[in-house]
């Protein structure tokens, strides 16, 4: 692990519920590498990745958050970080993944930042991505959980980086385009890796009941056309404090720990640790 210190922030349906994974069980190490994906951008995937990482850390899990959005990396921006090193230096062969990791004390977890504001990493060869995935798998042995924030979409580079993941959380909203793109991501991933553990998160839902309806819509398509039944990882209710936390570059579990959205992500973390 690098000893880099984090600099100060820049500014300060009925079947749905039974499919929710069970209750917390300490010490379970299955599902160590968790990829957070979405077929469409703008559904809150990075917010989910950050909040989930902090929730896991608060539950005693040594956690690493890896910014795998090679085209539009923004974890450093949402956290108000100015990392000395980022994924670009790793890709260039200047340092190892381990050396690129920095401590984010506010959240209690480690971060490997992407190259914010640059799309240059989106075009790296698949062979290099394969090596990067293998390196990430090796680095994950030093952690209890690794959260991989993938880029949006179904491009081959996104799917390649997701290959080492034990579990893939597909984030969607109730928007038709989001549901369609989430379905396409699930379809292609399942075709390539039939035994992949895919779970669904419905984000920014107006209510738990509405979130369950959204999940049922996606589940029905997966069951009817793909003959699979991806479980519901959880529903995150729409919460104005999410936008506030992002605007203030502070995780919601730090800024508004009692908020509905914070509690919903904590519930997802508990289910992951129990499954």
The pLDDT profile of the chain, 275 residues, written as one tens digit per residue, is 434 443 333 333 333 333 344 333 334 455 699 999 998 889 999 999 999 999 999 999 999 999 998 878 899 999 999 998 888 888 888 899 999 999 999 999 999 998 765 555 667 888 888 889 899 999 999 999 999 999 998 988 899 999 999 999 999 999 999 999 999 999 999 999 999 999 999 999 999 999 999 999 999 999 999 999 999 999 999 999 999 999 999 999 999 999 999 999 999 999 999 98
Which CATH number do you get for residue 217?
3.40.50.300
Q: Quote the pLDDT of residue 16.
A: 33
Strand 232-237: give its sheet, edge to edge.
102-104, 109-112, 63-68, 145-150, 33-37, 167-172, 197-205, 232-237
Dihedrals phi, psi of 29, to nearest 5 degrees: -110, 0
Phi/psi for 223 (5° steps) reads -70, -40
pLDDT of residue 31: 64
Which residues 6+ apart lie within 8 Å of 252 measured at CB? 47, 51, 239, 241, 242, 245, 259, 261, 262, 265
Is 167 domain-assigned?
yes
Domain that holds residue 85: 14-274
Domain assignment present for 4 = no
Kindly state whether residue 222 falls inside one of the protein's structural domains. Answer: yes
Q: Helix 260-274 to helix 45-58 angle, to the nearest 10 degrees?
A: 70
First to last CA, the chain: 28
Please give the pLDDT value at position 89.
86
Residue 73 has a pLDDT of 84
Count the domains in the chain: 1
pLDDT of residue 235: 98
Dihedral Cα 219, 162, 156, 92, nearest 10 deg: 160
Domain-located, residue 2 = no
Instruction: Check: CB of residue 251 under 8 Å from CB of residue 51.
Output: yes
Contacts for 149 with CB less than 8 Å, ≥ 6 apart: 36, 45, 46, 49, 50, 65, 66, 67, 68, 69, 75
Give me the pLDDT at residue 88, please.
83
Q: Is 35 within the bounds of a domain?
A: yes
Q: Which residues contact 78 (CB under 8 A, 6 or more apart)?
A: 46, 47, 50, 246, 249
Any domain includes 18: yes
- Which pLDDT does position 10 carry in this prediction? 33
Residue 186 counted as domain residue: yes
Closest-CA residue to 265 (of 51, 53, 79, 107): 51
In a domain, 6, yes or no: no
Which residues fall within 8 angstroms of residue 6, CB to CB, at 6 or more apart? 81, 102, 103, 104, 105, 106
The strand pair at 109-112 and 102-104 is best described as antiparallel
Predicted confidence at residue 4, as pLDDT, reads: 43
With beta carbons less than 8 A apart as the criterion, state whether 27 and 55 touch: no
């Amino acid at each position: 692990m690098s000893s880099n210190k984090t600099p100060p922030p820049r500014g300060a349906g009925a079947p749905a519920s039974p499919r929710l994974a069970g209750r917390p069980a300490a010490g379970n190490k299955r599902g160590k590498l968790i990829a957070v994906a979405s077929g469409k951008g703008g559904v809150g995937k990075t917010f989910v990745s950050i909040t989930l990482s902090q929730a896991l850390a608060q539950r005693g899990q040594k956690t690493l958050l890896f910014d795998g959005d090679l085209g539009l990396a923004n974890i450093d921006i949402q956290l108000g970080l100015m990392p000395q090193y980022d994924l670009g230096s790793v890709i260039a062969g200047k340092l190892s993944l381990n050396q690129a990791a920095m401590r984010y004390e506010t959240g209690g977890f480690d971060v490997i930042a992407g190259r914010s504001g640059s799309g240059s990493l989106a075009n790296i060869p698949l062979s290099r991505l394969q090596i990067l995935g293998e390196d990430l798998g090796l680095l994950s042995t030093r952690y209890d959980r690794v959260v991989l924030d993938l880029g949006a979409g179904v491009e081959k580079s996104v799917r390649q980086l997701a290959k080492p993941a034990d579990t893939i959380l597909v984030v969607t909203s109730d928007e038709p385009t989001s549901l369609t793109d989430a379905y396409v991501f699930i379809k292609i991933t399942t075709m390539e890796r039939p035994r992949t553990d895919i779970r669904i998160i419905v984000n920014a839902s107006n209510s738990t009941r509405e979130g369950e309806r959204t999940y049922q819509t996606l589940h029905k398509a997966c069951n009817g056309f793909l003959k699979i039944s991806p479980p519901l990882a959880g529903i995150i209710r729409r919460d104005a404090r999410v936008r506030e936390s992002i605007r203030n570059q502070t995780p919601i579990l730090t800024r508004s720990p009692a908020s509905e959205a914070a509690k919903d992500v904590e519930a997802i973390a508990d289910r992951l640790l129990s499954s």
